[in-house]
Structure 1
């Protein structure tokens, strides 16, 4: 699109998480009039650590925010996969390190630090808190958002960045419910001093046992480590009432140091949730609305690609608006470019367990899609 057309473009982004904040940065650099509407009254990111791949870090370099992300993260050279007792399975450098003009490493970062850094590079006043989306009316060349606080907003382009329970997706593109993976995730951030000597560098390690995986993701720039236990379980409640005994049963048979970390955890500081994704959505866009991030392709965390895919969506959407002659053409180009990649990542991410492991928890069947239980 012409620079003058982009500067006259009014864009409303629903959601101020990774996808929304990244989209706001990328689209505002086009010169468009961008506003972000977030349902929460304050931004508070729970969870633990993630890895920002070289392709994401290169986007940050293009957007002029590489240093803002780098100063609250640790560069990592490789990842390692081991058995439950620590025997090596594979060790490899992160993909894409040498794919860009400069050597670009994966950066390990706390989710809270990441969203704070992203929001911190947006212009003051761009993000509007306390705006819970109730409905969206697609009028063809524009769309109207109606919020629970009574406000309505009309925009030339609406970006649905409102997560796995996306109101935008459910109103316009797919009313399918999230799919329970048959997993529980226990996530905590602990001091490196409490890691029983298992954190010696800035590289991710995953330990694989029967029906359980443990991820150790160092956050040494803040003197901490992200400890994640993902285990097969039949309870699909969004926030299951899991206990320390449940956690200890999941880590049985692992390296005694990992068992020790789990034993020492204060369960009140552990984020426990059932793990969901969504089935592939056929269409991400209309002529004036597009989905990004989890709203478009929420995926399981086994490949560590959720946040990275959201960032690349943001970059891909901005690229398409530059290249195409109209918003309508740009949104079609955006989906054609990004969807094949995220479809494949969704597929691969669902291959986390053997049939025998699944049959231990779901005898004779695989975990079925089901309505989330609140």
Structure 2
């Protein structure tokens, strides 16, 4: 689209998480008028640490916000996979470092969302706007919120997560699918890591039916400590006791057991893990999905936040290169959907069949398929540094 058309474009984004904030930054750089509508009365991100891959950091460089992310993150050279008793299995440099000339950066989710929102102009994000309905009228769409307000835009971007209202009303009601596992996440002081946080690199300890991630956040003086374990309880926010956690780490290095024993349960985020099945269609002529709304996936391959950022970049590129919004949205889906469909599939391959049968005798969770423990490596053939698509991305906490 030419510069004048882009500047006349009015864009409404639903959701101010990773995908929405990143899309707001990317699309505003086109010169479009962008507004973000977030249901929460204040922006707040819970959880622990994640890894931002070199292609993602390169995208931030293209948007001029690399320094804003880098100053609240720690650069990492490699990841390591170990046995429960800390014997090495493999050690490998993060992919893409040579391609993009960047390192993977480890960051707390809260710092990440605050940094993304912090680079947006004042007044762009509107809090307290819970979406009630979206009406697609062809070349425009209207959003109606529960506070009684409504807005009409040339382009609506649904960045409203795994329980997306935009997706459910326009593109199919793909309900969250239980993975058969729980994630227990906490952030602890480096001093409480009992000497296990020795550098800026991620380590994953693999036991039968349990994986434990140590993700250093050395710029904070902290470590993101994540226990992911097979469990049949599908309650979205399960009630978990200290004894429950200790049972999941039986047989692990005694330091891991001691760290678990010392956790403050009030500070542990406990949740059942869900994704969605691939969505057939991501867009109409004036509405499009990005991030988890389009392709929520499990965390085993570390694809969630990275894919959301690259969605935002891909959507902005498509609008810049196409002749119309309609053509751009089709181009965006054609470029991004095959990649994320495959990443969703690979991310479901987190456990062996024997591990699953231990917890689910005679069956397996709908989203689980047996696979090896080594993280998969996926790099689209069309990837170029100037217009990055997600390459191999390793475990994310």
- TM-score normalised according to structure 2 size: 0.92
The equivalent position to 1:201 in structure 2, one of 199, 202, 205, is 199
Q: What CA distance in whole angstroms lies between the structure 2 residues aligned with 1:5 and 1:265?
A: 54
Q: Does 2:105 align with 1:91?
A: no
Aligned residue pairs: how many? 367
CA distance in 2 between partners of 1:261 and 1:279 (Å) = 35
SS of equivalent to 1:241: coil
Q: In the alignment, what sits opposite 2:312?
A: 314
1:96-115 to structure 2, matched below 5 A, reads 96-100=96-100, 103-115=101-113
SS at structure 2 position matched to 1:39: coil
Q: How far did residue 368 of structure 1 move?
A: 3.2
Q: Quote the offset at 1:87 in angstroms.
A: 1.2
In the aligned structure 1, how far is the partner of 2:110 from the partner of 2:174? Answer: 29
* Structure 1 residue 332, shift from structure 2 partner: 0.3
Q: 1:298 aligns with which of 272, 296, 299?
A: 296
Secondary structure of 1:329's aligned partner: helix
**Correspondence for 1:59:** 59
Residue by residue over 1:287-339, the C-alpha shift from the partner in whole angstroms, topping out at 9 and shown as x without a partner, is: 00110000000000001110000000000000000000000000000000001
Find the aligned partners of 2:303 and 2:161 in 1 and give their Cα distance: 15
Q: What's 2:44 paired with?
A: 44
Give the Cα–Cα distance (whole angstroms) in 2 for the partners of residues 318 and 151 of structure 1: 27
What residue in structure 1 maps to residue 337 of structure 2? 339
Residue 235 of structure 2 corresponds to which residue in structure 1?
A: 237
Ranges in structure 2 where 5+ consecutive residues have no aligned partner? 368-397
Residues 66-92 of structure 1, C-alpha deviation per residue, up to 9 Å, x if partnerless? 000000000000000111111111110
Q: CA deviation at 1:341?
A: 0.8
Query: Structure 2 CA distance, aligned partners of 1:59 and 1:138?
Result: 31
Within 5 Å, give how 1:162-201 maps onto structure 2: 162-201=160-199
Q: Which residue of 2 aligns with 1:372?
A: none
Find the aligned partners of 1:45 and 1:125 in 2 and give their Cα distance.
20
Structure 1 unaligned regions, length at least 5: 370-374
Residue 278 of structure 2 is aligned to residue 266 of structure 1: no
TM-score by length of 1: 0.97
The residue aligned with 2:34 is: 34
Q: What is the CA RMSD across the aligned residues, in angstroms?
A: 0.6
- The aligned counterpart of 1:155 is 153
Stretches of 4+ aligned residues off by more than 4 angstroms: none
